[in-house]
Protein backbone atom coordinates (compact mmCIF):
# COMPACT_ATOMS: atom_id res chain seq x y z
CA UNK A 1 0.00 0.00 0.00
CA UNK A 2 1.20 3.51 -0.78
CA UNK A 3 1.59 5.41 2.45
CA UNK A 4 1.61 9.05 3.39
CA UNK A 5 4.64 9.48 5.67
CA UNK A 6 4.46 12.36 8.16
CA UNK A 7 7.35 14.59 9.10
CA UNK A 8 9.70 13.20 11.73
CA UNK A 9 9.17 15.27 14.86
CA UNK A 10 9.75 12.47 17.35
CA UNK A 11 12.50 11.03 19.50
CA UNK A 12 13.73 7.48 18.90
CA UNK A 13 11.70 6.22 21.86
CA UNK A 14 8.59 7.97 20.58
CA UNK A 15 9.14 6.55 17.10
CA UNK A 16 9.41 3.02 18.49
CA UNK A 17 6.18 3.47 20.43
CA UNK A 18 4.45 4.95 17.38
CA UNK A 19 5.53 2.00 15.22
CA UNK A 20 4.25 -0.49 17.81
CA UNK A 21 0.82 1.13 17.95
CA UNK A 22 0.70 1.47 14.17
CA UNK A 23 1.46 -2.22 13.68
CA UNK A 24 -1.15 -3.20 16.25
CA UNK A 25 -3.75 -0.99 14.60
CA UNK A 26 -3.10 -2.27 11.10
CA UNK A 27 -2.69 -5.95 11.94
CA UNK A 28 -5.23 -6.46 14.72
CA UNK A 29 -7.82 -3.71 14.31
CA UNK A 30 -7.71 -3.28 10.54
CA UNK A 31 -9.33 -6.62 9.61
CA UNK A 32 -12.23 -5.92 11.99
CA UNK A 33 -13.00 -2.30 11.13
CA UNK A 34 -15.80 -2.74 8.62
CA UNK A 35 -17.54 -5.47 10.62
CA UNK A 36 -17.43 -3.43 13.83
CA UNK A 37 -18.83 -0.43 11.96
CA UNK A 38 -21.62 -2.48 10.42
CA UNK A 39 -22.63 -4.17 13.68
CA UNK A 40 -22.06 -1.05 15.81
CA UNK A 41 -20.04 -3.04 18.33
CA UNK A 42 -16.51 -2.81 19.65
CA UNK A 43 -14.81 -6.20 19.56
CA UNK A 44 -14.05 -7.03 23.22
CA UNK A 45 -10.79 -8.60 22.14
CA UNK A 46 -9.62 -5.25 20.76
CA UNK A 47 -10.28 -3.58 24.12
CA UNK A 48 -8.47 -6.40 25.91
CA UNK A 49 -5.44 -5.96 23.66
CA UNK A 50 -5.43 -2.20 24.28
CA UNK A 51 -5.11 -2.94 28.00
CA UNK A 52 -2.41 -5.55 27.44
CA UNK A 53 -0.37 -3.09 25.36
CA UNK A 54 -0.61 -0.43 28.07
CA UNK A 55 -2.69 1.91 25.92
CA UNK A 56 -5.39 2.43 28.54
CA UNK A 57 -3.13 3.84 31.24
CA UNK A 58 -0.42 5.67 29.34
CA UNK A 59 0.21 8.47 31.84
CA UNK A 60 -0.68 6.51 34.98
CA UNK A 61 2.09 5.78 37.50
CA UNK A 62 3.64 2.34 37.50
CA UNK A 63 2.35 1.66 41.00
CA UNK A 64 -1.14 1.46 39.50
CA UNK A 65 -0.07 -0.64 36.53
CA UNK A 66 0.27 2.36 34.21
CA UNK A 67 2.94 3.05 31.60
CA UNK A 68 4.32 6.16 33.34
CA UNK A 69 4.59 7.95 30.02
CA UNK A 70 3.66 11.43 28.83
CA UNK A 71 0.54 13.14 27.56
CA UNK A 72 2.30 13.49 24.21
CA UNK A 73 2.73 9.71 24.07
CA UNK A 74 -1.02 9.31 24.56
CA UNK A 75 -1.56 11.70 21.66
CA UNK A 76 0.66 9.55 19.44
CA UNK A 77 -1.38 6.46 20.30
CA UNK A 78 -4.67 8.23 19.60
CA UNK A 79 -3.42 9.43 16.21
CA UNK A 80 -2.15 6.02 15.10
CA UNK A 81 -5.33 4.22 16.14
CA UNK A 82 -7.49 6.80 14.35
CA UNK A 83 -5.59 6.23 11.10
CA UNK A 84 -7.13 2.74 11.10
CA UNK A 85 -10.32 3.13 13.14
CA UNK A 86 -11.43 6.37 14.85
CA UNK A 87 -13.88 4.32 16.94
CA UNK A 88 -11.07 2.48 18.74
CA UNK A 89 -9.15 5.73 18.93
CA UNK A 90 -11.90 7.56 20.80
CA UNK A 91 -12.15 4.71 23.31
CA UNK A 92 -8.45 5.07 24.14
CA UNK A 93 -8.68 8.87 23.97
CA UNK A 94 -11.49 9.18 26.54
CA UNK A 95 -9.75 6.69 28.83
CA UNK A 96 -6.51 8.67 28.88
CA UNK A 97 -7.12 12.36 28.23
CA UNK A 98 -10.44 12.64 30.06
CA UNK A 99 -11.04 9.88 32.58
CA UNK A 100 -7.62 8.86 33.90
CA UNK A 101 -6.24 12.38 33.91
CA UNK A 102 -9.22 13.61 35.91
CA UNK A 103 -8.91 10.86 38.52
CA UNK A 104 -5.13 11.26 38.80
CA UNK A 105 -5.41 15.01 39.24
CA UNK A 106 -8.53 15.35 41.36
CA UNK A 107 -8.99 12.01 43.09
CA UNK A 108 -8.10 11.37 46.71
CA UNK A 109 -5.33 8.91 47.45
CA UNK A 110 -7.97 6.38 48.47
CA UNK A 111 -9.89 6.76 45.20
CA UNK A 112 -6.74 6.46 43.12
CA UNK A 113 -5.63 3.35 45.00
CA UNK A 114 -9.08 1.80 44.65
CA UNK A 115 -9.74 2.54 41.00
CA UNK A 116 -6.59 3.33 39.01
CA UNK A 117 -5.19 -0.25 39.03
CA UNK A 118 -8.45 -1.39 37.45
CA UNK A 119 -8.47 1.50 34.96
CA UNK A 120 -5.00 0.53 33.77
CA UNK A 121 -5.68 -3.19 33.43
CA UNK A 122 -9.36 -4.02 32.87
CA UNK A 123 -11.97 -1.27 33.39
CA UNK A 124 -13.07 1.14 30.67
CA UNK A 125 -13.91 4.63 31.91
CA UNK A 126 -16.57 7.08 30.75
CA UNK A 127 -17.08 10.83 31.18
CA UNK A 128 -20.69 11.87 31.76
CA UNK A 129 -21.29 15.61 31.45
CA UNK A 130 -23.79 16.22 28.61
CA UNK A 131 -27.55 16.12 29.04
CA UNK A 132 -30.54 16.58 26.75
CA UNK A 133 -30.70 20.27 27.72
CA UNK A 134 -27.01 20.75 28.43
CA UNK A 135 -24.55 20.53 25.56
CA UNK A 136 -22.43 23.56 24.70
CA UNK A 137 -24.01 25.19 27.75
CA UNK A 138 -22.40 22.48 29.84
CA UNK A 139 -23.29 23.94 33.21
CA UNK A 140 -27.02 24.06 32.55
CA UNK A 141 -27.16 20.45 33.70
CA UNK A 142 -30.20 19.30 35.65
CA UNK A 143 -28.90 16.07 37.23
CA UNK A 144 -29.13 16.47 41.02
CA UNK A 145 -27.04 15.03 43.85
CA UNK A 146 -28.54 15.01 47.34
CA UNK A 147 -26.45 14.74 50.50
CA UNK A 148 -28.01 11.92 52.51
CA UNK A 149 -25.54 11.91 55.37
CA UNK A 150 -23.52 8.76 54.83
CA UNK A 151 -24.00 8.73 51.05
CA UNK A 152 -25.07 10.77 48.01
CA UNK A 153 -28.22 10.15 46.02
CA UNK A 154 -28.17 11.10 42.32
CA UNK A 155 -31.23 11.62 40.12
CA UNK A 156 -31.31 12.59 36.47
CA UNK A 157 -29.95 11.42 33.13
CA UNK A 158 -27.02 11.92 30.81
CA UNK A 159 -26.97 11.83 27.01
CA UNK A 160 -24.41 11.08 24.28
CA UNK A 161 -21.95 9.44 26.66
CA UNK A 162 -18.93 7.95 24.87
CA UNK A 163 -17.67 4.55 26.09
CA UNK A 164 -20.87 4.30 28.13
CA UNK A 165 -21.72 0.84 26.85
CA UNK A 166 -18.36 -0.71 27.74
CA UNK A 167 -17.52 1.30 30.86
CA UNK A 168 -17.32 0.00 34.39
CA UNK A 169 -16.69 3.38 36.02
CA UNK A 170 -18.12 6.80 35.17
CA UNK A 171 -17.27 10.39 36.09
CA UNK A 172 -20.72 11.88 36.59
CA UNK A 173 -21.37 15.60 36.96
CA UNK A 174 -24.36 16.70 39.03
CA UNK A 175 -25.40 19.81 40.94
CA UNK A 176 -25.75 19.70 44.70
CA UNK A 177 -27.46 23.13 44.78
CA UNK A 178 -28.99 24.69 41.63
CA UNK A 179 -29.16 28.09 43.35
CA UNK A 180 -25.36 28.23 43.34
CA UNK A 181 -25.13 27.91 39.55
CA UNK A 182 -21.87 26.43 38.33
CA UNK A 183 -20.49 26.52 41.88
CA UNK A 184 -22.92 23.79 42.85
CA UNK A 185 -21.61 21.33 40.27
CA UNK A 186 -19.79 18.32 41.70
CA UNK A 187 -18.06 15.34 40.08
CA UNK A 188 -18.71 11.80 41.32
CA UNK A 189 -17.20 8.42 40.53
CA UNK A 190 -20.06 6.01 39.85
CA UNK A 191 -19.54 2.29 39.36
CA UNK A 192 -21.69 0.45 36.86
CA UNK A 193 -23.10 -1.77 39.58
CA UNK A 194 -24.23 0.99 41.94
CA UNK A 195 -27.87 0.76 43.02
CA UNK A 196 -30.14 3.05 41.00
CA UNK A 197 -27.80 3.35 37.99
CA UNK A 198 -28.81 2.09 34.55
CA UNK A 199 -27.25 2.28 31.10
CA UNK A 200 -30.01 3.37 28.72
CA UNK A 201 -30.42 3.29 24.96
CA UNK A 202 -27.49 3.18 22.59
CA UNK A 203 -27.51 5.82 19.86
CA UNK A 204 -27.60 4.77 16.19
CA UNK A 205 -24.96 7.14 14.83
CA UNK A 206 -23.67 8.47 11.52
CA UNK A 207 -20.03 7.73 12.31
CA UNK A 208 -17.68 6.14 14.86
CA UNK A 209 -20.39 3.51 15.06
CA UNK A 210 -18.33 0.87 16.87
CA UNK A 211 -17.84 3.36 19.70
CA UNK A 212 -20.81 3.20 22.06
CA UNK A 213 -22.72 6.42 22.71
CA UNK A 214 -25.44 5.90 25.31
CA UNK A 215 -27.89 7.41 27.72
CA UNK A 216 -27.26 7.04 31.46
CA UNK A 217 -30.16 6.98 33.93
CA UNK A 218 -29.93 7.75 37.65
CA UNK A 219 -32.91 6.90 39.83
CA UNK A 220 -32.02 7.40 43.48
CA UNK A 221 -28.53 6.18 42.60
CA UNK A 222 -26.57 5.53 45.79
CA UNK A 223 -22.98 6.82 45.70
CA UNK A 224 -20.56 6.49 48.64
CA UNK A 225 -19.65 9.77 50.32
CA UNK A 226 -15.97 9.28 49.54
CA UNK A 227 -16.62 9.00 45.78
CA UNK A 228 -16.66 12.75 45.25
CA UNK A 229 -13.93 13.57 42.71
CA UNK A 230 -12.18 16.68 43.94
CA UNK A 231 -14.36 18.67 46.33
CA UNK A 232 -18.05 19.41 46.52
CA UNK A 233 -18.83 22.41 44.33
CA UNK A 234 -15.66 22.33 42.22
CA UNK A 235 -16.93 19.96 39.54
CA UNK A 236 -16.92 22.84 37.07
CA UNK A 237 -13.13 23.07 37.43
CA UNK A 238 -12.77 19.33 36.94
CA UNK A 239 -14.86 19.57 33.76
CA UNK A 240 -13.21 22.64 32.25
CA UNK A 241 -9.62 21.64 32.88
CA UNK A 242 -10.13 18.07 31.74
CA UNK A 243 -11.92 19.11 28.54
CA UNK A 244 -9.08 21.49 27.70
CA UNK A 245 -6.78 18.46 27.62
CA UNK A 246 -9.35 16.37 25.81
CA UNK A 247 -9.48 18.78 22.89
CA UNK A 248 -5.90 17.93 22.05
CA UNK A 249 -6.95 14.29 21.95
CA UNK A 250 -9.73 15.09 19.50
CA UNK A 251 -7.21 16.95 17.37
CA UNK A 252 -5.03 13.83 17.34
CA UNK A 253 -8.01 11.71 16.32
CA UNK A 254 -8.73 14.03 13.43
CA UNK A 255 -5.19 14.12 12.04
CA UNK A 256 -5.01 10.34 12.31
CA UNK A 257 -8.34 10.01 10.54
CA UNK A 258 -7.24 12.38 7.77
CA UNK A 259 -3.99 10.47 7.32
CA UNK A 260 -5.83 7.16 7.14
CA UNK A 261 -8.18 8.54 4.49
CA UNK A 262 -5.26 9.90 2.48
CA UNK A 263 -3.33 6.63 2.68
CA UNK A 264 -6.35 4.78 1.31
CA UNK A 265 -6.74 7.29 -1.52
CA UNK A 266 -3.05 7.04 -2.42
CA UNK A 267 -3.29 3.28 -2.66
CA UNK A 268 -6.28 3.59 -4.98
CA UNK A 269 -5.03 6.32 -7.31
CA UNK A 270 -1.67 4.63 -7.88
CA UNK A 271 -3.40 1.40 -8.94
CA UNK A 272 -6.50 2.67 -10.71
CA UNK A 273 -5.97 3.57 -14.37
CA UNK A 274 -8.00 5.88 -16.59
CA UNK A 275 -7.18 7.10 -20.10
CA UNK A 276 -4.22 4.74 -20.19
CA UNK A 277 -2.39 5.84 -17.05
CA UNK A 278 -2.65 5.79 -13.27
CA UNK A 279 -4.92 8.46 -11.80
CA UNK A 280 -1.99 9.62 -9.68
CA UNK A 281 -0.14 10.73 -12.83
CA UNK A 282 -2.64 13.50 -13.56
CA UNK A 283 -1.40 16.88 -12.41
CA UNK A 284 -4.80 17.93 -11.10
CA UNK A 285 -4.84 14.91 -8.79
CA UNK A 286 -1.28 15.56 -7.70
CA UNK A 287 -2.16 19.11 -6.68
CA UNK A 288 -5.02 17.82 -4.54
CA UNK A 289 -2.75 15.30 -2.85
CA UNK A 290 -0.17 17.99 -2.15
CA UNK A 291 -2.73 20.29 -0.58
CA UNK A 292 -4.17 17.54 1.63
CA UNK A 293 -0.72 16.47 2.83
CA UNK A 294 0.15 20.09 3.61
CA UNK A 295 -3.05 20.61 5.57
CA UNK A 296 -2.48 17.43 7.59
CA UNK A 297 1.08 18.48 8.46
CA UNK A 298 -0.13 21.92 9.56
CA UNK A 299 -2.77 20.34 11.78
CA UNK A 300 -0.25 17.85 13.17
CA UNK A 301 2.15 20.65 14.13
CA UNK A 302 -0.67 22.41 16.00
CA UNK A 303 -1.72 19.26 17.84
CA UNK A 304 1.84 18.27 18.73
CA UNK A 305 2.64 21.80 19.89
CA UNK A 306 -0.40 21.89 22.19
CA UNK A 307 0.53 18.49 23.64
CA UNK A 308 4.14 19.51 24.23
CA UNK A 309 2.98 22.71 25.96
CA UNK A 310 0.72 20.66 28.22
CA UNK A 311 3.56 18.31 29.16
CA UNK A 312 5.83 21.29 29.84
CA UNK A 313 3.34 22.74 32.29
CA UNK A 314 2.80 25.85 30.16
CA UNK A 315 -0.43 27.54 29.09
CA UNK A 316 -2.04 25.59 26.27
CA UNK A 317 -5.80 26.33 26.32
CA UNK A 318 -5.79 28.58 23.24
CA UNK A 319 -3.46 26.24 21.37
CA UNK A 320 -5.65 23.24 22.25
CA UNK A 321 -8.76 24.98 20.96
CA UNK A 322 -6.97 26.00 17.75
CA UNK A 323 -5.64 22.49 17.22
CA UNK A 324 -9.05 20.91 17.75
CA UNK A 325 -10.74 23.46 15.48
CA UNK A 326 -8.29 23.21 12.61
CA UNK A 327 -7.72 19.46 12.76
CA UNK A 328 -11.47 18.78 12.62
CA UNK A 329 -11.81 21.09 9.60
CA UNK A 330 -8.90 19.39 7.84
CA UNK A 331 -10.32 15.94 8.57
CA UNK A 332 -13.67 16.80 7.00
CA UNK A 333 -12.07 18.30 3.89
CA UNK A 334 -9.59 15.47 3.40
CA UNK A 335 -12.08 12.67 4.06
CA UNK A 336 -14.56 14.21 1.62
CA UNK A 337 -12.01 14.64 -1.16
CA UNK A 338 -10.68 11.11 -0.64
CA UNK A 339 -14.15 9.73 -1.31
CA UNK A 340 -14.12 11.61 -4.62
CA UNK A 341 -10.66 10.33 -5.50
CA UNK A 342 -11.98 6.79 -5.18
CA UNK A 343 -14.70 7.55 -7.71
CA UNK A 344 -17.81 5.37 -7.61
CA UNK A 345 -16.32 2.79 -5.25
CA UNK A 346 -15.67 5.55 -2.73
CA UNK A 347 -19.41 5.84 -2.27
CA UNK A 348 -19.68 2.16 -1.35
CA UNK A 349 -18.73 0.27 1.79
CA UNK A 350 -16.21 -1.81 -0.13
CA UNK A 351 -13.50 0.69 0.86
CA UNK A 352 -12.98 2.57 4.13
CA UNK A 353 -13.15 5.96 2.38
CA UNK A 354 -16.85 6.43 3.10
CA UNK A 355 -16.36 5.36 6.72
CA UNK A 356 -13.63 7.95 7.29
CA UNK A 357 -15.96 10.51 5.72
CA UNK A 358 -18.76 9.63 8.15
CA UNK A 359 -16.41 9.44 11.12
CA UNK A 360 -14.93 12.87 10.41
CA UNK A 361 -18.12 14.80 11.13
CA UNK A 362 -18.05 14.21 14.88
CA UNK A 363 -14.80 16.16 15.16
CA UNK A 364 -16.64 19.46 14.81
CA UNK A 365 -19.18 18.49 17.46
CA UNK A 366 -17.90 16.64 20.51
CA UNK A 367 -15.72 18.05 23.29
CA UNK A 368 -16.70 21.54 22.17
CA UNK A 369 -18.32 22.45 18.86
CA UNK A 370 -16.55 24.50 16.21
CA UNK A 371 -18.38 27.63 17.34
CA UNK A 372 -17.36 27.06 20.95
CA UNK A 373 -13.71 26.70 19.90
CA UNK A 374 -13.92 29.95 17.94
CA UNK A 375 -15.43 31.68 20.96
CA UNK A 376 -12.70 30.37 23.25
CA UNK A 377 -9.92 31.39 20.87
CA UNK A 378 -11.34 34.89 20.36
CA UNK A 379 -11.79 35.49 24.10
CA UNK A 380 -8.22 34.44 24.86
CA UNK A 381 -6.78 36.57 22.06
CA UNK A 382 -8.69 39.62 23.26
CA UNK A 383 -7.69 38.94 26.86
CA UNK A 384 -4.03 38.87 25.83
CA UNK A 385 -4.41 42.40 24.43
CA UNK A 386 -6.01 43.86 27.53
Ramachandran category for residue 368: left, alpha or beta (phi over 0 → left; psi -120 to 50 → alpha): left
- The yes-or-no answer on residue 122 being catalytic is no
- Delineate the domains of the chain, giving CATH numbers in brackets: 12-124 (1.10.540.10), 126-233 (2.40.110.10), 237-385 (1.20.140.10)
Given the residues 319, 332, 354, 367, the one annotated as active site? 367
The mean pLDDT value for 322-348 works out to: 97
Rounded CA-CA distance 58/67 in Å is 5
Check pLDDT > 70 for residue 224: yes
Report helix, strand or coil for 359: helix
pLDDT digits (tens, 9 = 90+) for 288-301: 999 999 999 999 99
pLDDT in tens, 144-169: 999 999 999 999 999 999 999 999 99
**Going by C-beta distance under 8 Å and a sequence separation of 6 or more, which residues neighbour residue 278?**
269, 270, 271, 272
In sequence order, the 6+-apart residues with CB closer than 8 A to the CB of 73 are 14, 17, 58, 59, 67
pLDDT confidence tier of residue 136, bands split at 50, 70 and 90: confident
Distance CA 110, CA 107 (A): 8
* 342-376 confidence digits (pLDDT tens): 999 999 999 999 999 999 999 999 999 999 999 99
- So what's the pLDDT on residue 140? 87
pLDDT score at 318 = 98
DSSP 3-state of 338 = helix
Contacts of 290 (CB under 8 A, 6+ apart): none
User: Predicted confidence band at 7 (pLDDT cuts at 50, 70, 90)?
Assistant: low
Q: What is the pLDDT of residue 9?
A: 72
Q: Which residues contact 100 (CB under 8 A, 6 or more apart)?
A: 56, 57, 59, 60, 66, 116, 119, 120, 125
Amino acid sequence: MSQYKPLNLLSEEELMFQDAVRNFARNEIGPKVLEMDETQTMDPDIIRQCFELGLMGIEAPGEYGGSESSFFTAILAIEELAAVDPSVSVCVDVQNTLFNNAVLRWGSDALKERYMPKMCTEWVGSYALSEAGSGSDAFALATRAEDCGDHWKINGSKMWITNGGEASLYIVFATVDPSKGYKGITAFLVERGFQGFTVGKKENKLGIRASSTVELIFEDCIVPKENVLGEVGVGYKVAIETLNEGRIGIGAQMIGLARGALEGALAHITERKQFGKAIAEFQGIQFQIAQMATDIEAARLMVYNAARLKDAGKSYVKEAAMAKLFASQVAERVASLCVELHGGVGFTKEFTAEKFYRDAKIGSIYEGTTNMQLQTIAKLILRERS
